[in-house]
């Protein structure tokens, strides 16, 4: 099922606003990187500058633009799921329909599973690439710290690296926000228990069944290649790995 079809009109408007913000961020990052690379070509002694500028334009819009667009697309998709999750909390008994509630929970779980299966490989690749790139850049700057052209090398690639890193880190922080601010199993249980009449054994059984649904819902997470859960711990593990490499590099150079 198309995730847009599962949203209300109000939620669709919120999603469109999110889409405009993410599009603006994409244009901003592509423009920043394009400007830095063109500036590098202009101040350098390269021949065929018009040809290089044409290549830079194609690179920034198509390949680099694609690299930036994928995390923003995932944020857009996960935000739509988050809007569906926020709708699980009801305000009065007139909005309770247990079959509809069951379908909502199953739909949310299916969408998350689809995102993990189809797009979960990308966060894993991003942070593998970020780790290797960070380590190689640290090694390069340490080895070539006396290079007179190092400022030009920094200008050439550092802006692109920073934009990609900011986008990937923003993706992790955004997904962590969606996961930590969605309704919890306890909140859902308290919300729906208020409308049960425990004089009937049928309602007791129904309540037990939905508690199990709520627990299963709360355990659903966004995964990177079905290996790592995408949360703030994932980011700390990445930072810890970079720090470990830096310490090893310093020890190696000192020896």
Q: What residues in the chain have per-residue pLDDT under 70?
A: 1, 45-47, 90-97, 145-156, 194-204, 206, 255
Distances (CA, A) of 210 to 10, 101, 217: 27, 9, 10
Cα separation, 178 vs 239, whole angstroms: 21
Beta strands in the chain (DSSP E): 223-224, 228-229
The total domain count for the chain is: 1
Cα separation, 35 vs 56, whole angstroms: 10
pLDDT value, residue 156: 65
Beta strands in 119-203 (DSSP E): none
- What is the pTM assigned to this prediction? 0.85
pLDDT digits (tens, 9 = 90+) for 211-234: 888 888 888 889 988 888 888 888
For 238, the domain range is: 3-254
pLDDT value, residue 136: 83
Cα separation, 222 vs 53, whole angstroms: 39
Residue labelled with tokens 């299966």? 117
pLDDT digits (tens, 9 = 90+) for 81-96: 999 998 887 666 555 6
pLDDT value, residue 92: 62
């Amino acid at each position: 099922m198309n995730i847009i079809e599962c949203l209300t009109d109000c939620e669709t408007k919120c999603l469109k606003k999110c889409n405009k913000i993410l599009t603006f961020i994409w244009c901003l990052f592509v423009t920043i990187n394009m400007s830095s690379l063109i500036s590098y070509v202009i101040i350098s002694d390269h021949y065929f500058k018009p040809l290089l500028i044409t290549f830079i334009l194609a690179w920034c819009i198509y390949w680099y633009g694609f690299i930036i667009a994928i995390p923003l697309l995932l944020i857009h998709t996960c935000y739509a799921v988050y809007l569906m999750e926020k709708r699980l909390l009801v305000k009065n008994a007139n909005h309770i329909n247990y079959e509809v509630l069951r379908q909502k929970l199953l739909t949310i779980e299916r969408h998350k599973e689809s995102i993990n299966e189809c797009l979960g490989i990308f966060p894993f690749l991003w942070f593998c690439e970020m780790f290797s790139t960070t380590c190689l850049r640290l090694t390069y700057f340490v080895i070539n710290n006396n290079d007179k052209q190092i400022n030009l090398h920094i200008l050439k690639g550092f802006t692109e690296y920073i934009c990609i890193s900011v986008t990937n880190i923003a993706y992790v922080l955004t997904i962590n926000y969606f996961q930590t601010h969605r309704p919890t199993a306890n909140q859902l249980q308290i919300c729906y228990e208020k409308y049960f009449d425990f004089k009937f054994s049928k309602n007791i059984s129904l309540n037990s069944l939905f508690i199990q649904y709520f627990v299963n819902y709360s355990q659903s997470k966004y995964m990177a290649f079905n290996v790592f859960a995408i949360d703030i711990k994932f980011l700390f593990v990445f930072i810890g790995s970079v720090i470990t490499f830096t310490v090893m590099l310093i020890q190696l150079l000192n020896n």
